[in-house]
Structure 1
Amino acid sequence: MAKKENNARLGKGLSAIFGEDVSNVLEDIQQGKSEVHEDSKFEVDVKDVKPNPYQPRKHFDDDKIQELADSIKLHGVFTPILVKKAVKGYELITGERRLRASKLAGLKRIPAILMDFDDQQMMEIALLENIQREDLNAIEEAQGYEKLIKKLGYKQEELAHRIGKSREHVANMLRLLKLPASVQQHVVNNELSMGHVRALLSLKDPKLMEEVAQKAIQLHLSVRAVETLVKNMNEPKPEPVKKERDVNLDQVEKRLQSRFGTKVKIDEKQIVIKYHGNDDLNRVLEMIGGLDEEM
């Protein structure tokens, strides 16, 4: 298959491969199962290859990269990376683990295949390949969806159709981005599951989300336990029942106020008599017999 024929398969709008297995299509190209024009095969300086700007995957397992680097030191790189021409050097399309491991292994040049993709194709391929390989955590997947929506103007339903997911799945993933950054990091770290954070999203206060997330992690709460906790927090708290005042107390207050010539308040099992200055206090005390006769 000539280079143009190969690009046609991954052609304009990627219409030829949506509905197919994108990761297998790209893998066939890299492993030589899909014929590529010889002019497209070459060795590239690792320093000339920039990361894919649309790569949704942010977290790579350092131990696995090191294992791959050790293997490359012994056996070299068998599977070429895919690149596209950039203003300066090249941009990586797929093969970031191989590129990172090759640099770690001290290689200066690695095998590559030059492809002719535009930015839209690069963005969609990067997301689709990672989703199909299940290489993304939930937050990375959500961020990938958001980027496609913002950059390419997709509606949720259209995006769902193009990536082979339901609209509900896309909507639920995008909701994760409403979580506080600290809670999102717990998802990335596999400390909280999708079930946990779906329950947290029903809370309106980000601080409450963080508090419940911490509690769920510290106490190893199940999804059901977090759902119950959130439900209880969301239920309106009953207003305290006001105790009806005894109407007889009003009459007693009026009688005392009339007798002492000042304001009297009966409340909470106590009688409060207002006074104004020492003379007024002495007057009230004399009336209730509160002064010793010797004073």
Structure 2
Amino acid sequence: MSQNKRSSLGRGLSALMADLQPEGDTKTSEPRADTISVPTEQITPNPDQPRRVFDQASLAELADSIRTRGIIQPLIVRRHPDDAQIYQIVAGERRWRAAQMAQLHELPVLVREFSDAEMLEVAIIENIQRADLNAIDEAASYKQLMTRFGHTQEKVAEALGKSRSHIANLMRLLNLPDQVQEWVREEKLSAGHARALVTVDNPTALARKVIEKDLSVRETEALVRKKPEPSTRSTTAQPEKDADTRALEGDLSATLKMRVQIRHSGTDGGQMVITYRDLEQLDRLCQTLSGNA
């Protein structure tokens, strides 16, 4: 394990979040003693900022608010590793961009010492706290916190004030095809629609039907329940899967990064079907099953 990763895990999520509050919190408070003012031109964005798209209309609204009320919540920055006169944004890039639109010459900042890994970690956490974050990007942020920094679902849930089931259910959405995920990002489908489509065989086709017919989440769930079994399966009617079975399928799919289906035979036995996309995935599955992954 790298030194940066050890440092990040050692400090802990709660410590990293100490200076963060939701950006929508507009309560006026006394300036903190450790807040300093820095010329706008001496502040640069985080090159590893997870959020790549900033809505211009939203930035314009924030700029109008800044012109009227100023910057209520200071940016969190660190000194640039290559130039001590420059400050690198850890959290608050939207405020920095909007402040430039409002033509502010100085910004209030909190200077903190963060490693590269901690800087990315805080940027991810800040994005998760954004109220307008869509379900897919939120799920990807949770996954990044766990895969890059070794945090468990329980640790992330505790630090962010979320339930473990909320995080687990969102992360299952990452098993959906890219097209369906994009429709969620575009708000053509809600997170509820997407959750109903996670365990079906043809989520893209069903998602397209949901969008075309403007179906509600309840109607989508009903459509999924009555979807006919493919002709390659037994013609014997299959009982509806219970919530525990669907949750187990989702967990296994997330772990293996392949589609997993569990079919009970009506007795104590049954089948578990793992669908691989190509030979590379099959090879990775074989390595996992043999303990060589």
TM > 0.5 between the two? yes
Alpha-carbon spacing, 1:74–1:222, altered in 2? closer, same or farther (3 Å): closer
Runs of 4+ deviating beyond 6 Å? none
TM-score normalised according to structure 1 size: 0.61
Give the percent of matched residue pairs that are identical in Structure 1 and Structure 2.
39
Say whether residues 1:136 and 2:130 are aligned partners.
Answer: no
Cα distance in 2 between the residues matched to 1:78 and 1:167: 32
1:83–1:90: 8 Å Cα contact kept in structure 2?
yes
2:75–2:108: 8 Å Cα contact kept in structure 1?
yes
Q: Any stretches of 5+ residues in structure 2 without a counterpart?
A: 1-9, 236-293
Say whether residues 1:12 and 2:11 are aligned partners.
Answer: yes
Say whether residues 1:157 and 2:154 are aligned partners.
Answer: yes
Note the 1:274-289 alignment, pairs <5 A. Answer: none
CA offset digits 1:126-184 (Å, max 9, x no partner): 34444445342211111111111121122333333333323222221111111222211
- Which residue does 1:35 correspond to in 2? 33
Kindly indicate which of the two structures has a greater share of residues assigned to helix: 1
Cα distance in 2 between the residues matched to 1:214 and 1:195: 15
- Work out which of the two has the higher radius of gyration on C-alpha atoms and give 1 or 2: 1
Deviation at 1:233, TM superposition (A): 2.9
Deviation at 1:123, TM superposition (A): 3.8
Deviation at 1:231, TM superposition (A): 2.6
- Of the three residues 217, 229, 232, the one matched with 2:226 is 232
- Of the three residues 168, 173, 192, the one matched with 2:189 is 192
Paired residues in the alignment total: 221
Amino acid at match of 1:230: V
- Of the three residues 20, 39, 44, the one matched with 2:39 is 44
Amino acid at match of 2:183: H
Deviation at 1:65, TM superposition (A): 0.9
TM-score normalised according to structure 2 size: 0.62
- Of the three residues 203, 209, 215, the one matched with 1:209 is 203
Note the 1:79-158 alignment, pairs <5 A. Answer: 79-88=73-82, 89-107=86-104, 109-158=106-155
Alpha-carbon spacing, 1:107–1:152, altered in 2? closer, same or farther (3 Å): same
Deviation at 1:103, TM superposition (A): 2.8
Alpha-carbon spacing, 1:209–1:24, altered in 2? closer, same or farther (3 Å): closer
CA RMSD, aligned part only?
Answer: 3.6
1:123–1:148: 8 Å Cα contact kept in structure 2?
no
Q: Any stretches of 5+ residues in structure 1 without a counterpart?
A: 1-10, 241-295
2:13–2:156: 8 Å Cα contact kept in structure 1?
no
- Which residue does 1:271 correspond to in 2? none
